[in-house]
Structure 1
Amino acid sequence: MSKSLVQQVAIHACGDASALRVQQAELPLPGPGEVRVRQSAVGVNFVDIYHRTGLYPLPALPAVLGVEGAGVIEAIGAGVEALTVGQRVAYAGVVGAYATARNLPAQRVVALPDGITAEQAAGAMLRGMTAHMLFAHVRSLQPGDTVLLHAAAGGLGLVLLQWAKSLGARVIGTVGSRAKADLALSHGLDRAVLYREEDFVAAAKDFTQGAGVHYAIDGIGGETLLRTLEAVRAYGMAASVGQVAGAVAPLDPALLGPSRSIALARPGVMRFMSDAQRYREGAAATLAHLSAGMKIMIGKELTLAQAAQAHRMLEAGETTGSLLLRP
């Protein structure tokens, strides 16, 4: 196996979706402890948009975007013993996924069991890691707990929904349309709130007989996060995991208590995955949920060269389920 010419999508400066550029590059042989993966599917996530805009700065530019994918190992570097050429694998948390092939640290690559497709893995790895982080590390979810999810029909929302239900929780979720409500309900949602027509705080209080939810997960940010705090019961928790609607402004601790007596977490899945043990634990949990029947809805598949279109669709809220690129 020699050096290989690959197609990539990179940014040379931060900006809107037009900053994404398709380029060709020479991929070197995998170094010690690395493998080369010929990619079959690449996941598109909001963290990619945050990297593109500079909200979450990358170490250096130019940079190839994307943090998760799945494919087949086609070359192995020195010292790699647990993986083999031809093996189906997936990964998350390593920037550079928007490419036809790439080199990866072998410790970040996980073997895919039979029955789990590359598309399922590319649509689930980062979201599964996020679910495991939120429900096992940030706040241990217990049977009978009530959970509020925003964007319940999105790629992350559907994974969080199914994960929470598997742990015995009752889940209320916000959606932007009746079609999205039907989709989330078909994945186990107990109560759908069309947020353009109904106040989600009032709905959450009604869902919990006035008490508020035990756990609210907010990927919207902006003013929505402030309202989300109102939906949480005393000694419950809100987790802020994104800022689709705008930056999360500094919060006065008085908004949390003592009268409300709630907790606010701001966990980051990339930080979570930086620990090798947590990464393996989260990957194993994700694959276990997929093997047990967790559904990954692929809402749209685009070519690698259509990455800018994928970003625009995601930013506009035009997607349901997971959004994939086909290298």
Structure 2
Amino acid sequence: MQDYAIIAREPGGPEVLERRAIATPAPGPGEALVRHEAVGLNFLDIYHRTGLYPWETPRDLVLGSEAAGVVEAVGAGVTGLEPGDRVAYAHPLGAYVSARAIAADRLLKLPEGVSTETAAGVILKGLTAEYLIHDSYPVRAGDVVLVHAAAGGVGLLLGQWLAAKGVRAIGTAGGAEKVALAQAHGYDTVIDYGTGDFVDPVMDLTGGHGVAAVYDSVGAETWRGSLACLRVHGTFVNFGQSSGAIEGFTFSDLARKSLHATRPTLFHFIADPGELQRRGAALAAVLADGTVRAEARNRFALSDAARAHRALETRATTGTSILVP
């Protein structure tokens, strides 16, 4: 089998993606060779492809930050993994390949009942949901929070996990289909932002008090409204910018309600192997016991990554999407 990678020739649109043959990598010391069965698709990939997140090299970037598959070989010094183990990982860049040699301490073993396709589409998003609700704003039973893009990959996971914790989650989504999907995944109420502003409905739903936290991955289109929805001492968690980067924000925007704001990034929360394993175990537990369901709703061939990017950018997808080598 000829292995291959999907490479972005240079920063730009989906047309810069091309398939190239590669030699099957050999695992070095401390590494494992993973044969990918599925690769996750995320807005993070688009941020990298377009150059919104600057490249360290001028050309030929391999995108992708999550994947799952089967260990084919291990390098010297690797313990706790062996050929045949099913694994998944979230790691900056390099996942748009059919097989990859990667540091073994970045791999999470998959429990029975969690498929590689599910894991590939959920590992990055699920670890993101885990740190958002346990660290960025640690929720408590009885809290009321707002989640934008509630029908997206992270949004569907958040809705279920928050409900299991006794948190009342209000979501926003665009269109009747996405609203219904989010409501089926744990949200108390979902606002269709396509029919008008979300601020007044959120304030009405909270008796004028506002929410304890807003989890906002949309950015430019939503941040001002997100701040307006917060209660006194509320927390604005911006973890993405699918509509563009936030501009014009100042510290004085926080003063009117003594608000908190944070802009976290997943890879700072899983840089330490021990922390990665701890967070991975928490995610695996809620997937394995059914607290959180995370089926892959959209499947594309890895070689058709350009079409997948177009679908994601135009918001033609809901929930989790995967690329299959």
CA distance in 2 between counterparts of 1:251 and 1:192 reads 26
CA distance in 2 between counterparts of 1:6 and 1:299 reads 26
1:175 CA drift (Å): 1.0
Note the alpha carbon deviations across 1:210-266, whole angstroms, 9 max, x for none: 100101011111131111110110111011111111111141111111x22111110
1:62 CA drift (Å): 1.7
Instruction: Report what 1:23 is aligned to.
Output: 20
1:32 CA drift (Å): 0.3
Instruction: Report what 1:221 is aligned to.
Output: 219
Partner of residue 158 from structure 1, selected from 156, 159, 178 = 156
Partner of residue 51 from structure 1, selected from 21, 26, 48 = 48
**What does residue range 9-88 of structure 1 map to in structure 2 within 5 Å?**
9-60=6-57, 61-88=59-86
Instruction: Report what 1:102 is aligned to.
Output: 100
- Alignment length, in residue pairs? 323
Instruction: Report what 2:309 is aligned to.
Output: 311
**What does residue range 196-215 of structure 1 map to in structure 2 within 5 Å?**
196-215=194-213
CA distance in 1 between counterparts of 2:112 and 2:319 reads 23
CA distance in 2 between counterparts of 1:33 and 1:250 reads 45
User: How big is the alpha-carbon RMSD for the aligned residues of Structure 1 and Structure 2?
Assistant: 1.3
Q: Does structure 2 retain, via aligned residues, the 8 Å contact 1:39–1:100? A: yes
1:271 aligns with 2:268: yes
Instruction: Report what 1:124 is aligned to.
Output: 122
CA distance in 2 between counterparts of 1:205 and 1:83 reads 51
CA distance in 2 between counterparts of 1:223 and 1:187 reads 24
With structure 1 as the length reference, what TM-score do the two structures score?
Answer: 0.96
CA distance in 1 between counterparts of 2:34 and 2:131 reads 26
1:198 CA drift (Å): 3.2
Q: Does structure 1 retain, via aligned residues, the 8 Å contact 2:141–2:165? A: yes
Q: Does structure 2 retain, via aligned residues, the 8 Å contact 1:90–1:109? A: yes
1:296 aligns with 2:291: no
CA distance in 2 between counterparts of 1:65 and 1:223 reads 26
Secondary structure at 2:32 match in 1: strand
Instruction: Report what 1:248 is aligned to.
Output: 246
Name structure 1 gaps, 5 residues minimum.
Answer: none
**Equivalent AA in structure 1 for residue 259 of structure 2:** I
Secondary structure at 1:113 match in 2: coil
1:13 CA drift (Å): 0.9
Q: Does structure 2 retain, via aligned residues, the 8 Å contact 1:124–1:286? A: no
Secondary structure at 1:136 match in 2: helix
CA distance in 2 between counterparts of 1:42 and 1:284 reads 20
Q: Does structure 1 retain, via aligned residues, the 8 Å contact 2:68–2:120? A: yes
1:142 aligns with 2:140: yes
Instruction: Report what 2:189 is aligned to.
Output: 191
Q: Does structure 1 retain, via aligned residues, the 8 Å contact 2:34–2:71? A: yes
Secondary structure at 2:195 match in 1: coil
Instruction: Report what 2:87 is aligned to.
Output: 89
CA distance in 2 between counterparts of 1:132 and 1:175 reads 21
1:105 CA drift (Å): 0.6
Instruction: Report what 1:6 is aligned to.
Output: 3
Q: Does structure 2 retain, via aligned residues, the 8 Å contact 1:93–1:273? A: no
CA distance in 1 between counterparts of 2:54 and 2:280 reads 25
**Equivalent AA in structure 1 for residue 42 of structure 2:** N
Q: Does structure 2 retain, via aligned residues, the 8 Å contact 1:128–1:285? A: no
Note the alpha carbon deviations across 1:256-285, whole angstroms, 9 max, x for none: 11x221111100112222232322222111
Greater shift, 292-301 or 58-67, is seen at: 58-67
Instruction: Report what 1:326 is aligned to.
Output: 324
CA distance in 2 between counterparts of 1:124 and 1:132 reads 11
1:94 CA drift (Å): 3.6
Runs of 4+ displaced beyond 6 Å: none
1:298 CA drift (Å): 1.7
Secondary structure at 2:194 match in 1: coil
1:139 CA drift (Å): 1.6
Note the alpha carbon deviations across 1:60-112, whole angstroms, 9 max, x for none: 34221101011100011110011010111111124211111111110011111
Quote the sequence identity (%). 42
**Equivalent AA in structure 1 for residue 24 of structure 2:** L
Q: Does structure 2 retain, via aligned residues, the 8 Å contact 1:152–1:184? A: yes
